[in-house]
Structure 1
Amino acid sequence: MTEDLLDNLLKNYMDLISRVDEHIQRLARVHKDRLACKKGCDACCRHLSLFPVEALVLSRAFSRLEAPCRERIIRQAQQTDRTCPLLVDHVCMVYEARPIICRTHGYPLYMEKEGRAMVDFCPKNFKGVKKLDRSDMLDLDRMNTLLTAVNNHFTACFEGPLPGRIPVDQALELYQDLEIS
């Protein structure tokens, strides 16, 4: 597989990421004084499992890190099953390639549970806000549906079955396992 072919396979995912990022950036501008999420805030950074499309993007970014950083992350991954191993001194080493859950964590997510509308966000954010506008919320069900569709399209392009979810520690070297030229 070539880098160009891989980039083409990842286009739908990157488009989805762009849409999510635009929403988050707008929220950050509108509510900048009400957000506690900043560089160094890693309370929500957990060892997650990812869809294969997200795992590959994360792994590609991981492969481009300096060797000492990659080695440290691998050691951390072997030592924990809770904190995200990609954090080094409270900073995500693959921030630009972080999955959607990491991009949206802390921001308002709209969902329905047992027929009831719910909104969830980090309790440190949006202090003093009495009511959030519906346009401030990401629809979690819709986002998950889109991500699932993008992932299904991506995985259909590979021979053989891919796992449904891949833990971060197992995703780290996924990119290196592909024969990319």
Structure 2
Amino acid sequence: MDDLLHNYRQLIARIDALCRGIVDALGEQITCSEGCSDCCTAINLFPVEAASLAAALEALPEEEAEEIRRYVAEHAEDERCPLLRNHRCLLYTARPVVCRTHGLPIIYGTGLERRIDYCPLNLTESESLPGSVIIDLDNLNSLLVAVNALFLSQSDALDTPERLTIVEALLKRTPPR
């Protein structure tokens, strides 16, 4: 599985470096920090992200992994992320792309319909932002789609749905078709 996730892990390393650079550049204007979970909702994942989360869970000691599975099962129907306990992610180091970038300035859309968004708790003193601190979400998603397609082509997961919930990823539940 590690070989199949190599490209995804390289993408994650680059995203993390990009996010660190943005946080460093914006300093105290970014209020997101450990324990902030306002944005943590139940999300859908690409199969490569689901596989990475599942691999992170499997790498844990069995007792800890089983405790997380139980917790996720108990919170499977919540609107909040089923990995969120006491405002902290149970698999933080393996969190998906959207979780890594959430709250930071992003730009998305096409042509003249491009919009910038960020957590309303961040950048309360800023009137404008340099382009170097804004994540182009469309480009980032294109990279993620390409990495996911490569993952699917190299794995035996070709019949996997386009998106999976965290519950499906970690509890091996088959999504409805």
TM-score by length of 1: 0.86
Partner residue in 2 for 1:172: 170
Report the AA paired with residue 74 of structure 1. A
Task: State the alpha-carbon separation in 2 of the partners of residues 166 and 48 from structure 1.
Answer: 9
Give the match for residue 71 of structure 1.
Answer: 70
Q: 1:26 aligns with which of 18, 21, 30?
A: 21
1:100 aligns with 2:97: yes
Find runs of 4+ consecutive structure 1 residues off by over 4 angstroms: none
Partner of 1:110: 107
Out of 129, 134, 137, the residue aligned to residue 132 of structure 1 is: 129
Offset at residue 135 of structure 1 (A): 0.8
SS of the equivalent of 2:104 reads coil
Distance in 2 of aligned mates of 1:127 and 1:143: 25
Residue of structure 2 in register with 1:10 after alignment = 5
1:55 alignment partner in structure 2: 50
Give the distance between the partners of 2:70 and 2:109, measured in 1 at CA. Answer: 41
- Confirm or deny: 8 A CA contact 2:35 2:88 kept in the other structure: yes
Query: Secondary structure, in 3 states, of the residue corresponding to 2:123?
Result: coil
- CA distance in 1 between counterparts of 2:166 and 2:67 reads 18
Which secondary structure does the structure 2 equivalent of 1:115 belong to? helix
Q: Deviations over 1:88-115 (max 9, x none)?
A: 1110010110000000010011112463
| 1:173 Cα deviation from its structure 2 partner | 3.1
> Is 1:86 the equivalent of 2:83?
yes
CA distance in 1, matches of 2:16, 2:4: 20
What are the Cα deviations for residues 65-104 of structure 1, in whole angstroms up to 9, with x where unaligned? 6033332222122x42x10010111100101100000000
Provide the alpha-carbon RMSD of the alignment. 1.5
- How many residue pairs end up in the alignment? 167
Matched residue, 1:151? 148
Q: Secondary structure at the match of 2:114?
A: strand
> 2:36 aligns to what SS in structure 1?
coil
Contact 2:53 2:95 in 1 (8 A): yes
Question: Any gaps of 5 or more consecutive residues in structure 2?
Answer: 173-177
Specify the SS of the correspondent of 1:9: coil
